[in-house]
Chains A and B, each alone.
Chain A
Amino acid sequence: MPAVSKGDGMRGLAVFISDIRNCKSKEAEIKRINKELANIRSKFKGDKALDGYSKKKYVCKLLFIFLLGHDIDFGHMEAVNLLSSNKYTEKQIGYLFISVLVNSNSELIRLINNAIKNDLASRNPTFMCLALHCIANVGSREMGEAFAADIPRILVAGDSMDSVKQSAALCLLRLYKASPDLVPMGEWTARVVHLLNDQHMGVVTAAVSLITCLCKKNPDDFKTCISLAVSRLSRIVSSASTDLQDYTYYFVPAPWLSVKLLRLLQCYPPPEDAAVKGRLVECLETVLNKAQEPPKSKKVQHSNAKNAILFETISLIIHYDSEPNLLVRACNQLGQFLQHRETNLRYLALESMCTLASSEFSHEAVKTHIDTVINALKTERDVSVRQRAADLLYAMCDRSNAKQIVSEMLRYLETADYAIREEIVLKVAILAEKYAVDYSWYVDTILNLIRIAGDYVSEEVWYRVLQIVTNRDDVQGYAAKTVFEALQAPACHENMVKVGGYILGEFGNLIAGDPRSSPPVQFSLLHSKFHLCSVATRALLLSTYIKFINLFPETKATIQGVLRAGSQLRNADVELQQRAVEYLTLSSVASTDVLATVLEEMPPFPERESSILAKLKRKKGPGAGSALDDGRRDPSSNDVNGGVEPTPSTVSTPSPSADLLGLRAAPPPAAPPATSGAGNLLVDVFSDGPAAQPSLGPTPEEAFLSELEPPAPESPMALLADPAPAADPGPEDIGPPIPEADELLNKFVCKNNGVLFENQLLQIGVKSEFRQNLGRMYLFYGNKTSVQFQNFSPTVVHPGDLQTQLAVQTKRVAAQVDGGAQVQQVLNIECLRDFLTPPLLSVRFRYGGAPQSLTLKLPVTINKFFQPTEMAAQDFFQRWKQLSLPQQEAQKIFKANHPMDAEVTKAKLLGFGSALLDNVDPNPENFVGAGIIQTKALQVGCLLRLEPNAQAQMYRLTLRTSKEPVSRHLCELLAQQF
């Protein structure tokens, strides 16, 4: 039993709580709760009318059970009954229940609102306050509609009690925040402002919050509050520590009200009226002066309250940013706090100084604390404080201290917490670029970043270093030399290989004179990393190699040997294979002149906002990059570092290849070859059709290659413009799909590219893209023999109803495929409505006189037309509930066929096409996704949930869609994947 039970003694409640506390296990607790719920239910349902006390007690028990974390689905009606009781305690419990367990049941809301209305009209201040508290606690739109018009009247009525005014002000604030449109502005607003003059400090305290919120939305209408706020603040600040009686808190007069008034003033620029301004500046000075006085108490509450006002004062000074004297005083005050023994104060001082650093008046003053801040970065034991120190270093950085700050941050990076490494990397990269005086320092810094924290160096960072090096010819030689040295480390990060590969491919010639970095040495250094790298990096290195052939003719034979190797030419990855084939052909058919033109150095990049800065802003929200955005505090920072501007020597020559070949009117917006990621290459080259991804422009050599490439049959543009209908032979003409067809199809449910089929004769590769209800697929037929295929004819067949569900247009390909050659076929696909079976691909040809035929399932499944949909948890669950008919749901429980790896699962789900929704499922192990299947006739919304059970090595997969066959089909398709 409790030591204390004040006021009421709901004995039954106390006994129940004791019972729960005595439960030894969760099961026992649930059992006890269920028993109680059954008891309460029977009491509520029983014939005997319950008296108010019992009702109150049971409702209170239900509330307790709910707050323990259990669901409550009854008792609302009884709680509503309590609202209309004329006994205060019953009413109070009723209101508490409603506030905590608000239910948007419309019938109930009407009853609740009715009870509230009665209480508001009761003229009993205690009842009125209860009703206002309830509205403020619930704050729903329904309540806003019912009461938003009445509350202003209560707030400014002359006969309202102070306590009612206080509640009314904050109640109105809550409604205004939730639905501003419901609160009518009018005559009351002027009177609200005058509450700042109210005699009752509590009324002022409550009213300021409301006024601040109103000012933010309509600053002009509330301007009169400035002078009122200043005079109120001035009276408080200058009062003796005991003047305000119970509003003095540990010898600090009205700290909460002071902070709120200072916040209110931050809605406006400095007062225009000189007298008001003078009075305010006096206040601010008084606060700064008081900070230097000895404390009136040793209690932490005293210093916290006093410093709360001080920090808010400093915020206002920074907000005005017009009083140099105050800004510098503020900075000095914060400087003292930087070494305070209270961690809290050090944290806040670092945080506050960060904003001071961006003021031109105090930037220099902030800089004097650099050593203290660096020391904090090194020695603070609390990571959140170290984070603040890193932020401040970033904010105080300018040309004079950049080298010191960058090197300290690099050093910190080696031991930094994983959670903040990426952010530090971005910051270092930005500072290094922004304040680079000589670019060799910049290159060193970025390479150091990659060395120290390669995993956290995002693409933006290494793209940027390439852009800068490409645009500045004074650093190219140094960059080549440095990456060459960096690559000699036995284990170097893949990002280093990427940067190294790109830079040597462009500027390797600048260091080739040195026998230690002669062309063959450069090549073998790069190639020694090749096999350990990912596909994207290897693709980039292949581009480097072809560039080497142009830069260093002596490496041609070696490189051609590499390209010709089976591991490249027949690589399972289409991208690598294609690059190898194209580069090999290019190097053998093109004359030296053509080669030199095609493989010329990349033209300078057009200037744009640093993508790194953009990324940091995204990470931290607007304002994060402010230290760099405003150049005003650093007048010396002119365009030299505003970004990389093309230097005269490089700006003049757009790559001549464009004009020479007449492919494009203007040089493409160039990006490093690697940025046109493997998947986009073909699409970029071939088309701008509806299914094509808008992507970075292809580099000149790629565009060029597409025209040179021998197997490309006809202009693909013509193909798009005039798609020939598929010449379908009747289904009876083709054989049944090969036995493995389903298995092969399953491999492509979650991916779009790869090898669909391979035997001794033929390899079929697939590359496809889908957008909304359209798709384009490239099929590559490779003749693996040395003998020509004849009468080669691949066709697409629609079995059954599929014709009406899916339209596939194909173009006939050349009837002969030479030994070792590859032909390509483009398919345009349109999904007309939902479908279950994939189309068939029938391939027939004669090999050495013998007819060959083969039927496969074309990897086009309904999920390809998924459009991912992001939504908040709330929306997700709402939709989930809407799709609750049994036939809308399909569920499968199945054993894992592959190791259960969360990352792999995620990749598969994304490949499947749905959006992955984070923070929706309460269990972080589970996956939740959403998307819309786009067909010409209709759209099908799909929600999915995958629950792995690592212990049992099982999954449970649930699909809900608006169409029954789709749920089942998607469920079957996806279940095969894990």
Chain B
Amino acid sequence: MQFMLLFSRQGKLRLQKWYVPLSDKEKKKITRELVQTVLARKPKMCSFLEWRDLKIVYKRYASLYFCCAIEDQDNELITLEIIHRYVELLDKYFGSVCELDIIFNFEKAYFILDEFLLGGEVQETSKKNVLKAIEQADLLQEKTENMYHSKSFIGCKRAY
């Protein structure tokens, strides 16, 4: 996978992950172009399209579009399920994830993605294992947060 973008129906970029080296200018250009292309597509159209020499795989979840760019030899359907598994991971972690969760906890969205995909390849597909890694981090975090800033800790909505 070369990159993954999350953006809203209004075209606002919510998350970007690049697995190939590109300049900031190029990234912005690609983002602009793809957001436009994908938003212009109608609901019943197929989830794949050719774009430059890449294949784009995208899927919409509520107000958010998840969009991956893969290479010619890569498997479209399994990429579609990469997207779905990532959504499931977010959902499990945040509890009924919505766009706001990703906006306010963008760093978490990145951490979860890093546990799941690394260097553009699937690293760990087990939901349990991915979330275990994140939870451990949260536990470490809570300890330190409570030590230093107990008042600023807002608390978990759901325990794991």
Contacts and interface: CB of A to CB of B under 8 A. Distances in A.
B80 interface: yes
B63 interface: no
Contacts of B9: none
Contact of B47 (A5, A202, A206, A344): A344
A260 B98 CA distance: 31
B75 A301 contact: no
Interface string A1-18: 011111111110010010
Nearest to A66: B24
Contacts of A96: 107, 110-111
Given A17-B103, A259-B78, A381-B45, A139 B156 contact: no
Contacts of B122: 205-206, 209, 256, 260
Contacts of B46: 343-344, 346-347, 382, 384-385
A6 B156 contact: yes
A6 B81 contact: no
A384 B50 contact: yes
Nearest to B94: A4
Interface string B101-114: 10111111011001
A542 interface: no
A424 to B, nearest CB: 15
Contacts of B16: 67
Given A96-B107, A348-B77, A88 B25 contact: no
A251 to B, nearest CB: 13
A504 interface: no
A218 B110 CA distance: 34
A60 interface: yes
A89 B152 contact: no
Given A346-B46, A922-B28, A4 B157 contact: yes
B49 A384 contact: yes
A874 B133 contact: no
Contact of B78 (A10, A170, A256, A874): A256
A290 interface: no
A329 to B, nearest CB: 19
A60 B110 CA distance: 12
B123 A6 contact: no
A51 B145 CA distance: 12
Nearest to B53: A621
Contacts of B114: 133, 137
A257 interface: yes
Given A51-B148, A202-B125, A246-B127, A88 B140 contact: yes
A88 B144 contact: yes
Contact of B118 (A5, A136, A347): A136
A621 B144 CA distance: 55
Contacts of B107: 60, 63, 92-93, 96
Given A14-B104, A139-B21, A263-B73, A7 B98 contact: no
Contacts of A308: 75-78, 80-81
Contacts of A384: 45-46, 48-50
B9 to A, nearest CB: 16
A382 B121 CA distance: 29
B30 to A, nearest CB: 10
Interface in B117-141: 118-129, 133, 136-138, 140-141
Interface of A is mostly: helix
B47 A4 contact: no
Contact of B111 (A92, A166, A254, A344): A92
B55 to A, nearest CB: 10
Interface stretch (A171-179, A190-198, A670-678): A171-179
A206 B75 contact: no
A89 B144 contact: yes
B154 interface: yes
B119 A170 contact: yes
B13 interface: yes
B23 interface: yes
B144 A344 contact: no
A23 B95 CA distance: 28
Contacts of B128: 246
A423 to B, nearest CB: 12
Contacts of B95: 4
A254 B94 contact: no
Nearest to A874: B23
Nearest to A137: B114
A9 B23 CA distance: 33
Contact of A247 (B77, B125, B144): B125
Contacts of A174: 19, 118-120
A304 B119 CA distance: 24
Interface string B52-88: 0100000000000000000001011110111011000
A139 B18 CA distance: 11
Contacts of A387: 50
A51 to B, nearest CB: 7
Contacts of A166: 118, 123-124
B127 to A, nearest CB: 6
Interface in A122-181: 126, 129, 132-133, 136-137, 139-140, 163, 166-167, 170-171, 173-174, 177-178
A417 to B, nearest CB: 13
A3 B154 CA distance: 11
Contacts of B103: 2, 17, 21
B145 A343 contact: no
A290 to B, nearest CB: 15
B123 A170 contact: yes
A259 B111 CA distance: 25
A955 interface: no
Which one of A51, A53, A173, A384 has the highest number of Cβ atoms from chain B below 10 Å of its Cβ? A384
Nearest to B119: A174
Given A53-B148, A344-B47, A877-B25, A89 B77 contact: no
Contacts of B152: 9-11
A395 B77 CA distance: 23
A381 B43 CA distance: 11
Nearest to B104: A2
Interface string B18-39: 0101010110110000000000
Interface in A69-102: 69, 87-89, 92-93, 96, 100
Nearest to A87: B144
Contacts of B120: 174
Contacts of A254: 125
A87 B29 CA distance: 37
B137 A92 contact: yes
Contact of B123 (A167, A301, A344): A167
A8 B19 CA distance: 28
Nearest to A135: B119
A64 B105 CA distance: 10
A246 B137 contact: no
B115 to A, nearest CB: 8
Contact of A205 (B123, B136, B145, B153): B123
Contacts of A21: 103
Contact of B125 (A88, A126, A205, A385): A205
Interface in A478-518: none
A381 B21 CA distance: 36
Contacts of B13: 67, 69
11 contacts: A67-B16, A92-B137, A126-B136, A166-B123, A301-B81, A304-B77, A312-B75, A348-B77, A382-B44, A385-B46, A922-B25
Q: When A and B form their complex, which 6 residue pairs have the shortest distance between CB atoms, in order from nearest? A: A2-B104, A174-B119, A308-B77, A308-B78, A7-B138, A9-B154
Interface of B: 13, 16, 19, 21, 23, 25-26, 28-29, 42, 44-50, 53, 73, 75-78, 80-82, 84-85, 93-95, 98, 100-101, 103-108, 110-111, 114, 118-129, 133, 136-138, 140-142, 144-145, 148-149, 152-157
Given A170-B118, A256-B125, A347-B46, 19 more contacts: A3-B100, A3-B157, A7-B137, A7-B138, A7-B145, A9-B154, A67-B106, A69-B28, A96-B110, A139-B119, A205-B122, A246-B126, A256-B82, A256-B122, A308-B78, A311-B75, A343-B46, A873-B26, A919-B29
